[in-house]
């Protein structure tokens, strides 16, 4: 086959022809036909090319990759068999760990595990696979603990990290004014919750006595009342000045 190489490659030094021949032999062993390889190597080359052997190796690497037409059907069959074997191994692993988890937990315990899985990873597509994965996970995280205790610990720790949902509160009406006495009561009562509705999403308000906590939903009503009091005080001051 080397006799069919273009002249610029046939005149290469012995060690370079040996290296090129080894690459050609690899392509033949991979199922490529001699005419396919020669077709790529016999393509025109630039006239001022200094290292033609590098271009030849580049063409082999990029244009004659992987399995050739002789081996491609066998390659596809092997890949399908490998995927089938991997899928069966995964199914056996899932079945084994699910059996371990089912034997170590009650239905309520498995429900807690699925709840923790959903909180951490999202709703499971396959609950059986999710429980099996939980068994493998805790075996890796807590290797010294019994499986039942490790599963309980992982579920409890995962669910404990879920942020508490904000307490729902009724919408505050803007119709009724808030007196100064009420504002003082709010300031005295203190705490981290909204002084009006009890929401946990309250913000410290420097405008109020003792910088009381009021949520954004209730604040416009109180702010309007404070603004009204400021206007009354301003009017009275102007009257005295007149």
Cα separation, 87 vs 92, whole angstroms: 9
Residue 167 lies in a domain: no
Region 5-11: mean pLDDT is 78
Instruction: Report the number of distinct structural domains present in the chain.
Output: 3
Under 8 Å between Cβ of 199 and 193: yes
Q: Are residues 76 and 59 part of one domain?
A: no
Residue 198 lies in a domain: yes
Q: Are residues 57 and 76 part of one domain?
A: no
Q: Are residues 129 and 52 part of one domain?
A: no
Q: Which residues are CB-contacts of 168 (< 8 A; sequence separation ≥ 6)?
A: none
Q: Are residues 78 and 51 part of one domain?
A: no
Residue 145 lies in a domain: yes
Q: Which two tokens stand for residue 85?
A: 């074997």
pLDDT exceeds cutoff 50 at 108:
yes
Q: Are residues 83 and 48 part of one domain?
A: no
Under 8 Å between Cβ of 186 and 212: yes
DSSP string, 64-110: S-S--TTTHHHHHHHHHHHHHHHHHHHHHHHHHHHHHHHHH--HHHH
Residue 141 lies in a domain: yes
Residue 30 lies in a domain: yes
pLDDT exceeds cutoff 90 at 134:
yes
Per-residue model confidence as pLDDT tens digits over 57-94: 888 888 788 777 777 787 788 889 889 999 999 999 99
| pLDDT of amino acid 242 | 35
pLDDT exceeds cutoff 70 at 110:
yes
Q: Are residues 76 and 152 part of one domain?
A: yes
Last residue of a domain, one of 63, 93, 110: 63
| pLDDT of amino acid 175 | 45
Residue 203 lies in a domain: yes
Q: Are residues 134 and 184 part of one domain?
A: no
- Domain span at residue 124 reads 72-158
Tell me the angle at which helices 72-104 and 107-121 cross, rounded to the nearest 10 degrees: 130
Residue 124 lies in a domain: yes
């Amino acid at each position: 086959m080397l006799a069919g190489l273009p002249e610029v490659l046939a005149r290469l030094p012995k060690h370079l022809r040996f290296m090129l021949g080894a690459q050609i032999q690899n392509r033949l062993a991979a199922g490529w036909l001699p005419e396919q390889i020669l077709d790529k190597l016999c393509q025109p080359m630039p006239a001022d090319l200094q290292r033609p052997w590098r271009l030849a190796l580049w063409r082999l690497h990029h244009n004659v990759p992987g399995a050739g037409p002789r081996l491609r059907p066998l390659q596809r069959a092997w890949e399908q068999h490998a995927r089938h074997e991997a899928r069966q191994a995964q199914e056996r692993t899932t079945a084994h760990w699910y059996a371990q988890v089912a034997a170590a937990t009650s239905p309520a315990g498995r429900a807690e595990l699925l709840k923790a899985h959903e909180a951490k990873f999202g709703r499971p597509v396959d609950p059986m696979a999710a429980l099996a994965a939980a068994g493998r996970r805790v075996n890796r995280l807590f290797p010294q603990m019994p499986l039942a205790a490790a599963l309980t610990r992982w579920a409890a720790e995962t669910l404990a990290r879920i942020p508490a949902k904000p307490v729902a509160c009724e919408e505050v009406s803007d119709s009724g004014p808030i007196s100064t006495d009420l504002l003082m009561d709010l300031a005295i009562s203190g705490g981290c919750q909204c002084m009006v509705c009890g929401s946990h999403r309250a913000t410290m308000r420097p405008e109020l006595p003792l910088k009381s906590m009021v949520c954004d939903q209730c604040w416009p009503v109180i702010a309007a009342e404070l603004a009204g009091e400021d206007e009354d005080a301003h009017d009275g001051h102007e009257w005295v000045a007149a």
